[in-house]
């Protein structure tokens, strides 16, 4: 029986000839599965790391329940199958940034960040731009 060693907090040596734990039996220790919702949260956080990307409103039956003003995080839906993930992303892009360049940057960044943080291979990233948002406020002219 392995009990924690009171001096280091690590498991005590087992009954192996060297007195150390065997680390070569990784398959016997179990496996790690990552839920879709975890990948969705990782991808949403990673998407806003790109300049000019904002959140999109939630939708119920295709109707937005808020405004696509760029506040918050992008909406991400993930499907994990084995060691691969597919992502659907809804976001807003700050005007006048290039939509094409921004979405390509998001695709590339999501593939890299999701793989780095979860070790899943991202097979596809579908990006939908819900709206173009402006960070400048319109100035009104008064004609007298």
| Segment 76-89, tens digit of pLDDT | 999 999 999 999 99
DSSP 138: P
Secondary structure element (H or E) that encloses residue 29, with its range: helix 26-29
Q: How confident is the model at residue 56 (pLDDT cuts 50, 70, 90)?
A: confident
The mean pLDDT of 41-59, rounded to a whole number, is 84
- The pTM assigned to this predicted structure is 0.66
pLDDT of 30 reads 73
What token pair was written down for 96?
């006048």
Q: Please give the residue that has the higher pLDDT: either 102 or 9.
A: 102
Name beta bridge partners: 121. Answer: 84
Share of the chain above pLDDT 70, in %: 63
pLDDT of 65 reads 53
How does pLDDT run across 17-32, given as a tens digit for each residue?
Answer: 555 655 556 566 777 7
Distance CA 52, CA 135 (A): 10
Contact yes or no for 92/131 (Cβ under 8 A): yes
Mean of all residue pLDDT scores within the chain? 78
pLDDT of 70 reads 47
Contact yes or no for 57/95 (Cβ under 8 A): no
């Amino acid at each position: 029986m392995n009990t924690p060693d009171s001096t280091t907090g690590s498991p005590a040596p087992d009954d192996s000839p060297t007195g150390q734990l065997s680390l070569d039996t990784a398959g016997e220790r179990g496996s790690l599965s990552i839920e879709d919702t975890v990948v969705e949260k990782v991808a949403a956080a990673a998407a806003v790391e790109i300049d000019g990307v904002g959140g999109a409103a939630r939708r119920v039956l295709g109707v937005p329940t808020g405004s696509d003003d760029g506040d918050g995080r992008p909406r991400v839906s993930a499907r994990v199958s084995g060691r691969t993930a597919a992502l659907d992303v809804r976001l807003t892009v700050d005007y006048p940034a290039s939509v094409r360049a921004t979405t390509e940057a998001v695709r590339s960044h999501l593939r890299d960040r999701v793989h780095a943080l979860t070790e899943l291979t991202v097979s596809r990233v579908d990006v939908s731009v819900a709206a173009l948002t402006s960070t400048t406020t319109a100035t009104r002219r008064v004609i007298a």
